[in-house]
């Protein structure tokens, strides 16, 4: 407790708080699009931290994690839109979305408890695609998801009469919808990080790590590997459900196209790139892989124009080429991630 309340720690917390408050206004100098990019980076932090429970803590390879994101998004869309004529409040929908996603996590985990490695990856990949296809086809004979057309006119978040859509004057400033969602997302992100830290250092977290290192040995010392694995799937899925609900509210529209396999691969890359099982590393990976592609998107064309006077390579193709090359280089020279957990560093790295 003394270390936590030391002057250095207090100054560090105050500096971080000031930076978080100022970030949306600094990003807004480049336009509202950059605030939205920051907001989506925080959403990806939610997803990466949720997947980190399954992949990083418990060592279970999951390629269908985006399905829980879809479940949370569609839960919000169905309960807060004219589609069914329901307009429930945020304090009811977010817990329901987390609970429904948690249930889907258990449904995924139950039949895969004896699978490992590539087999588990294939099954979870199939689960993610099944959910997306279901969302795409549940418009007949009863129209539940509106099929490929998606659900529109979704209600924004509203807390105590404050709607997060539109602009609101505050202390001489004009807070846009993107600003308000940013502060909501930061508050939720802090809560998610605290929960993850508590889980990591709890008995459950240590049980997950024991299963990751050696499942046979974990079972031999009395750990109920079945229940612990199911809990990992359920806890990880719940964070995806919360992220999906906020995503639906921010966008005002959801469709199956937003939950493709490439999204699951991207979230998994965030966990692996940052450092599996290390919460600060996962956060770093999520920020880099969500913001860097957008920076490249906006900088590729101007650089080509400055160097050659014309666009030689399609910006989207060049952006993905640079992005992929960066990933390959990182995994070649930092195989444990950019910020790995201390115990996962190689002996040669630890002595440097």
307-312 long-range contacts (CB < 8 A, ≥24 apart) are none
| pLDDT (average), residues 54-61 | 93
| pLDDT (average), residues 48-68 | 94
DSSP one-letter code for 157: P
Rg of the chain over all Cα atoms, to the nearest angstrom: 21
3-state class (DSSP) for residue 80: strand
Q: In the predicted model, what is the mean pLDDT of the chain?
A: 89
CATH for 32-347? 1.10.3470
Which residue has better confidence, 287 or 350? 287
Asked if the model's pLDDT at residue 313 lies above 90, the reply is no
pLDDT at 2: 45
Where does residue 173 fall: left (phi above 0), alpha (psi -120 to 50 degrees), or beta otherwise? beta
pLDDT at 310: 80
Q: Are strands 158-159 and 151-152 parallel, antiparallel or unpaired?
A: unpaired
DSSP 213-258: H-HHHHHHTT--HHHHHHHHHHHHHHHHHHHHHHHHHHHSEE-GGG
Q: How does pLDDT run across 207-220, given as a tens digit for each residue?
A: 999 999 999 999 99
Q: Where are the domains of the chain?
A: 32-347
Give CA–CA dist 29/32, Å, rounded: 8
Q: How does pLDDT run across 179-234, given as a tens digit for each residue?
A: 999 999 999 999 999 999 999 989 999 999 999 999 999 999 999 999 999 999 99
Asked if the model's pLDDT at residue 293 lies above 90, the reply is no
E runs forming strands in the chain: 80-81, 86-87, 151-152, 158-159, 162-163, 168-170, 173-175, 253-254
Give CA–CA dist 35/291, Å, rounded: 11
pLDDT at 343: 66
Asked if the model's pLDDT at residue 324 lies above 50, the reply is yes
| pLDDT (average), residues 25-39 | 92
């Amino acid at each position: 407790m003394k270390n936590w309340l030391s002057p250095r720690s207090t100054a560090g917390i105050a500096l971080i708080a000031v930076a978080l408050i100022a970030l949306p206004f600094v990003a807004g100098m480049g336009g509202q699009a950059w605030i939205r990019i920051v907001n989506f980076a925080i959403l990806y932090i939610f997803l990466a931290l949720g997947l980190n429970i399954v992949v990083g803590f418990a060592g279970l390879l999951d390629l269908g994690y985006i399905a829980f994101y879809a479940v949370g998004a569609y839960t919000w869309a169905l309960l807060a839109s004219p589609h069914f004529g329901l307009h429930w409040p945020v304090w009811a929908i977010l817990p329901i979305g987390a609970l429904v996603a948690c249930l889907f996590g258990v449904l995924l985990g139950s039949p895969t408890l004896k699978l490992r490695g590539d087999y588990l990856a294939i099954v979870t990949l199939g689960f993610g695609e099944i959910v997306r296809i279901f969302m795409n086809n549940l418009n007949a004979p009863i129209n539940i998801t509106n099929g490929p057309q998606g659900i529109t006119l979704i209600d924004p978040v509203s807390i105590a009469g404050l709607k997060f859509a539109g602009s609101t004057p505050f202390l001489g400033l004009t807070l846009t919808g993107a600003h308000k969602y940013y502060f909501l997302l930061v508050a939720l992100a802090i809560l998610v990080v605290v929960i993850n830290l508590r889980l990591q250092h709890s008995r459950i977290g240590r049980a997950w790590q024991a299963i990751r290192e050696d499942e046979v040995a974990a079972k031999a010392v009395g750990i109920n590997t079945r229940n612990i694995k199911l809990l990992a799937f359920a806890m990880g899925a719940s964070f995806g459900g919360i992220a999906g609900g906020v995503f639906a509210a921010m966008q005002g529209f959801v469709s199956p196209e937003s939950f493709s396999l490439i999204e699951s691969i991207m979230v998994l890359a965030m966990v692996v790139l940052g450092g599996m099982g290390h919460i600060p590393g996962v956060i770093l990976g999520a920020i880099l892989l969500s913001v860097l592609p957008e920076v490249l998107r906006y900088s590729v064309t101007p650089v080509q124009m400055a160097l050659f006077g014309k666009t030689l390579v399609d910006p989207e193709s060049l952006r993905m080429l640079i992005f992929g090359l960066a990933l390959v280089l990182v995994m070649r020279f930092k195989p444990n991630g950019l910020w790995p957990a201390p115990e996962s560093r190689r002996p040669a790295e630890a002595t440097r």
